[in-house]
Copies of this chain bind each other. A is one copy, B any other.
């Protein structure tokens, strides 16, 4: 058969798009192979099985998020920056639900690359908080709370957990405003 010239990056990117369309749970090597017009065993040349693909997706998600958050924080200050970062988070979950969902899986113990990528998305948060004069225990509490709240909000929203979609933006901003010291 003629070569398709698939690269790992393309493969993972396509898998992410597919996950957005059909849901991360329904993403299988079979459907990905169909999409790429290839037989499923061929995927093993690029990725270490389904588990490997999932890890690549997590990595892509973490890096994508880190970039969006950094861009959102750029040239903004204080609470404005926090709100923009929160919005970036939430927008990713709305625009790329499959990709966002792959953030959830816990990194394997000792997987520093994965842990690093996740931490990179949090760095701007540290910056803004210290700029707001928030240090020590306060900063730790605030970061944990903001992460939890934003993540939980995005998940509940994606799962249709909120009854009415009215004023969801207001609620989200109210929440963030409450959690900055």
Contacting residues of chain A (147-172) with chain B, CB-CB under 8 angstroms: 147-153, 155-156, 159-162, 167-168, 170-171
Q: Can you name 5 A-B residue pairings with CB atoms under 8 Å?
A: A104-B155, A148-B153, A149-B179, A151-B155, A155-B155
Contact B175–A144 (Cβ < 8 Å): yes
Partner of A167, one of B107, B137, B155, B170: B137
Number of copies: 2
Interface membership of A132, Cβ < 8 A: no
Contacting residues of chain A (102-136) with chain B, CB-CB under 8 angstroms: 104-107, 118
A118, A140, A149, A162 interface centre (most CB from chain B within 10 Å) = A149
Q: How long is the Cα–Cα vector from A107 to B162 in the complex, in angstroms?
A: 12
Q: Chain A interface mostly helix, strand, loop or mixed?
A: helix
Partner of A178, one of B107, B118, B153, B179: B179
- Shortest Cβ distance from A39 into chain B, in angstroms? 26
